[in-house]
Chains A and B, each alone.
Chain A
């Protein structure tokens, strides 16, 4: 460890051999009250009679990744909740500032690793705006096709996980059949299993191939039926319905105030979908509906995702029929230097609006790469919807909001 006369070593106490580590550690432990005194924290950590703090730590069989949730409970009822994130923070935005534009795409993949093609698409769209690149139509169609497949896979995972968090062991494995097949398809197309690294500035990395098309054809012929039968296990199940109906109701006003987007917003009745509200790519040419539900509870969010899978199947079908010929990537130099400027691009991911805001200063590295992730915003809803419910419902609510910690923590 280097020391400098200008900046004295803040860990000097720890380096001094005469200072016992227990004394240093003891001084720094403050019981149950973290370091920092915001208003909200003071409110949260004041326990009234009979209340107890229960910590569902970052390692837990059920939180969707490394999420720490501190619950203030009164018996079985949750009085308040404080989600603590940051356990998966990888500094993606800072890393992208030190990489050039083509390399930055690889950094954005593992953000929402469950649906990584969307995580690439938004930044790539922003880069294309900065570079004024025209993306070939075939590439746009391939982008839509592959991302809609990824959406189906992501929703399948979400629905399986929702049932698992409620205690049903079987549906997750049934959903994973769908997800497995789609992942095999996308592996044939992109060469990667989970973090696809398929989008490029100006197109996609490689055209459709025979294996992908044959797997896709196979799957499309059974997909609708499979999904119906999988849902037959759960949708009418009395236990699931009784647990999810009326739980975690989100009304449209609150949803807009909390900057919620995606299925969580549409399940509350607001028909906002970036593909229709602010169309991008070739979505104006594709014929599909925006499913909406009015109840806004966990069951509505769950059922809405099933509706979205059906719409995605429609989109994939349309894409296959309307796929034009042509190149799949615009020609760009190896090192791109966009004009100095700013660009914002948003796509409709499976969890909500996924956006990228890129500032370029004329060099070959982005000056600022900002990723806006929907799961990050939606996790605030947990603090709104859980108080008043039981501990068991915490998991149900979180599962229905579908956060992916990679995106939350960036």
Chain B
């Protein structure tokens, strides 16, 4: 629990944080909005007094009423892990800027978040499914995922199997539902 880190973060990002800096055991957590991700992450990476140069993890979270993207970072300047939660993503159309401009290794982690939740990372050059087959019709780790008949009841429904899917920028749940409705009308 690094109090000094908390002070530094509040001083640097004050108004961008959507909540207080929470600390427990050896973790410090800050919450930001999706729009601020690029700025905040770049500052955390580049500034020498923060120096969070190691990306430990990048994942998506579905809290039931909204989606989040969670980054875990490590810096040699502090004993804590820093958790950056990009909160408030719309469940139907979650979009967040990609971190691949800083860490190329985030490319696959973002692909996994897309594959499991449908979160679209703008700026990721290779945003396609990584675990599920290319023509899979749903996003498995969502809280409203139903595993039946290859997810035919799932909100991700609308993509007919074995045919060309949409470009990833459009393949969000809402678009898919709209499309499927239009086709069946």
Chain A residues positioned under 8 Å from B61 (CB to CB): 359, 368, 370
The answer on a CB contact under 8 Å between B157 and A7 is yes
Task: List B150-165 residues whose CB lies under 8 Å from chain A.
Answer: 152-153, 157, 160-165
**Shortest beta-carbon distance from B133 to chain A in Å:** 8
**Shortest beta-carbon distance from A208 to chain B in Å:** 29
Say which residue of A25, A28, A85, A368 sits within 8 Å of B130 (CB atoms). Answer: A85
Chain A residues positioned under 8 Å from B163 (CB to CB): 27-28, 35
**Shortest beta-carbon distance from A335 to chain B in Å:** 22
The answer on a CB contact under 8 Å between B57 and A355 is yes
Q: How far is B103's CA from A7's CA once the two chains are assembled, in angstroms?
A: 41
Chain A residues positioned under 8 Å from B134 (CB to CB): 34-36
Task: List A288-341 residues whose CB lies under 8 Å from chain B.
Answer: 341
Q: A86-B131, A370-B59 are in contact. Are A278 and B104 (CB under 8 A)?
A: no
- Asked if B17 is at the interface (CB within 8 A of a chain A CB), the reply is no
Interface size class of B (residues with CB under 8 A): 35 or more
Stretch at the interface among B7-15, B33-41, B48-56, B86-94: B48-56
Q: A41-B128, A257-B104 are in contact. Are A9 and B140 (CB under 8 A)?
A: no
- Asked if B65 is at the interface (CB within 8 A of a chain A CB), the reply is no
Chain A residue with Cβ nearest B78? A278
Task: List A239-292 residues whose CB lies under 8 Å from chain B.
Answer: 256-261, 272, 277-278
The answer on a CB contact under 8 Å between A39 and B152 is no
The answer on a CB contact under 8 Å between A341 and B125 is no
- Asked if A357 is at the interface (CB within 8 A of a chain B CB), the reply is yes
Chain A residues positioned under 8 Å from B167 (CB to CB): 37
Chain A residues positioned under 8 Å from B95 (CB to CB): none
**Shortest beta-carbon distance from B29 to chain A in Å:** 7
- Asked if A410 is at the interface (CB within 8 A of a chain B CB), the reply is yes
Count chain A residues whose beta carbon lies closer than 8 angstroms to a beta carbon of B.
56
Chain A residues positioned under 8 Å from B54 (CB to CB): 256, 259, 261, 272
The answer on a CB contact under 8 Å between B157 and A10 is yes
Task: List A28-44 residues whose CB lies under 8 Å from chain B.
Answer: 28, 30, 34-41
Chain B residues positioned under 8 Å from A10 (CB to CB): 137, 152, 157, 160-161
- Asked if A59 is at the interface (CB within 8 A of a chain B CB), the reply is no
Q: How far is B126's CA from A34's CA once the two chains are assembled, in angstroms?
A: 13
Chain B residue with Cβ nearest A370? B59
Chain B binding surface SS class: loop
- Asked if A215 is at the interface (CB within 8 A of a chain B CB), the reply is no
- Asked if B119 is at the interface (CB within 8 A of a chain A CB), the reply is no
Chain A residues positioned under 8 Å from B133 (CB to CB): 86
Q: How far is B68's CA from A370's CA once the two chains are assembled, in angstroms?
A: 13
The answer on a CB contact under 8 Å between A39 and B57 is no
The answer on a CB contact under 8 Å between A41 and B131 is no
The answer on a CB contact under 8 Å between B161 and A258 is no
The answer on a CB contact under 8 Å between B83 and A342 is yes
Say which residue of B81, B102, B145, B153 sits within 8 Å of A344 (CB atoms). Answer: B81
The answer on a CB contact under 8 Å between A38 and B165 is no
The answer on a CB contact under 8 Å between A257 and B103 is yes
Chain B residue with Cβ nearest A410? B131
Say which residue of A27, A256, A272, A380 sits within 8 Å of B108 (CB atoms). Answer: A380
- Asked if A11 is at the interface (CB within 8 A of a chain B CB), the reply is yes
- 13 new A-B contacts, CB < 8 A, other than A9-B149, A86-B130, A257-B104, are A10-B137, A10-B160, A36-B168, A39-B125, A257-B105, A259-B55, A278-B74, A278-B81, A342-B83, A344-B27, A346-B81, A355-B72, A357-B72
Q: Which residues of A contact B (CB under 8 A)?
A: 1-2, 4, 7-11, 24-25, 27-28, 30, 34-41, 85-86, 89, 91, 93-94, 129, 256-261, 272, 277-278, 341-344, 346, 353, 355, 357, 359, 368, 370, 372, 376-377, 379-380, 384, 409-410
Q: List 14 A-B contacts (CB under 8 A).
A: A2-B148, A9-B149, A256-B54, A257-B102, A261-B56, A278-B81, A341-B24, A342-B83, A344-B81, A344-B83, A346-B56, A370-B70, A376-B108, A410-B131
